[in-house]
Amino acid sequence: MNYRHLTPSMSLLLAFEAAARHESYTRAAVELSLTQSAVSRQVQALEQQLGLTLFRREGRHVQLTDVGRLYQREMSHALGLIRSATLQALAYQSGSGTLRLATLPTFGSKWLLPRLHDFYKSHPGMLVHIHSRIDAIDFETSGIDAAIVVGSADLPGLISHRLHMEELLVIMSPDAALAHEDWQAQHLAQQMLLNVANNATVWGEWFSHHGLPHRLMRLGPNFELTSHLIQAVRAGIGIGLVPRILVSDELANGELISLGQPFASQRSYYLVYPPRNERLPSLIAFRTWLLQQL
């Protein structure tokens, strides 16, 4: 076998990877600063070299074939390794580096960003680009190097560092607290219970922990972002059950009142990343700093 045919040129692979990710020659062309016809020619050249049909052409649209989808999955991983290796080499040479970090929006704004200046003091040549994410991260296609997530277990295929066990507090507005001089757990059955959509069972866990029947729960609206739920509680819409580290400022300045003791949920915060990024200098520096903080 001629191994040259098994190692297509990088220009062909980049054109295919972009076209496959978008399933569009037009969008791939914009991304690569090429013309649509140039992307089409490069994909066709790759198909001829491999002897494979990677796309089905339906009018002005293209769609990956089954073998094309398989090739995309493997090729995206390989290109990710190449990009990671290049970044590591550049960072090592310059003594600095860049980290593309995905984080939960409220954790990022309420906890991480107020402390990030401390990281920059110790690593002035490094840059941390923050990307807000709620859904699962696809490290093969997103360009993200690492992520801070919340969950109940390590994620398969990723290196995980447990940062902090989630401790939840019941929070209410000062006016709601004044309405009852002696707040008890059972009083929550009379309140609108606000929730974050990605943790829909947490009020049930809290009621079970306090020996209260679930039928007493008066569930209110769900919020996609914890920050929106916190604002709704401040506005007096209802009662919230939120991570303690996300409301420390509001509790300290009296904007919110907490009820009872912190409640340990089934979840923890994790720093996660694919194994290929483990030796990325910027990630090593950030990971060391973050673990010291938490």
pLDDT attached to residue 95: 52
DSSP 110: I
Q: How far apart are CA 190 and CA 210, in angstroms?
A: 15
For the chain, the distance separating the N- and C-terminal CA atoms, rounded to the nearest angstrom, is 54
Q: Do domains 3-89 and 97-164+270-293 have the same CATH topology?
A: no
Q: Write out the chain's pLDDT in tens, 294 residues.
A: 566 777 889 999 999 999 999 999 999 999 999 999 999 999 999 999 999 999 998 877 899 999 999 999 888 888 877 877 776 666 655 555 789 999 999 999 999 999 999 999 988 888 899 999 988 888 888 889 999 999 887 788 899 999 999 999 999 999 887 766 666 777 777 789 999 998 888 999 998 988 888 888 889 999 999 999 999 999 999 999 999 999 999 999 999 998 888 888 889 999 999 999 998 888 999 999 999 998
Q: Where are the beta strands (DSSP E) in 152-256?
A: 159-172, 193-196, 219-223, 240-243
Q: How far apart are CA 144 and CA 86, in angstroms?
A: 15
Q: Is 188 helix (H, G, I), strand (E, B) or coil?
A: helix
pLDDT attached to residue 21: 92
pLDDT attached to residue 178: 78
Q: How far apart are CA 136 and CA 134, in angstroms?
A: 7
Classify residue 254 by burial, with Cβ atoms within 10 Å: 0-12, 13-18, 19+: exposed
Q: How many Cβ atoms are within 10 Å of 180's Cβ, its own excluded? A: 13
Fold for 3-89, please state it: Arc Repressor Mutant, subunit A (1.10.10)
Helix or strand holding residue 93 (H, E): helix 66-94
Q: How far apart are CA 3 and CA 10, in angstroms?
A: 15
Q: What residues does each domain of the chain span?
A: 3-89, 97-164+270-293, 165-264
Fold for 165-264, please state it: D-Maltodextrin-Binding Protein; domain 2 (3.40.190)
| Domain 97-164+270-293 class, CATH top level | alpha beta
Q: Is 269 helix (H, G, I), strand (E, B) or coil?
A: strand
The two tokens of residue 14 are 């980049």
CB 221 within 8 A of CB 194: yes
Place of tokens 């493997």: 74
pLDDT attached to residue 292: 93
Q: Is 212 helix (H, G, I), strand (E, B) or coil?
A: coil
Q: pTM, whole model, 2 decimals?
A: 0.68
Alpha-helical (H) ranges within 200-280 are 202-209, 226-234, 248-252
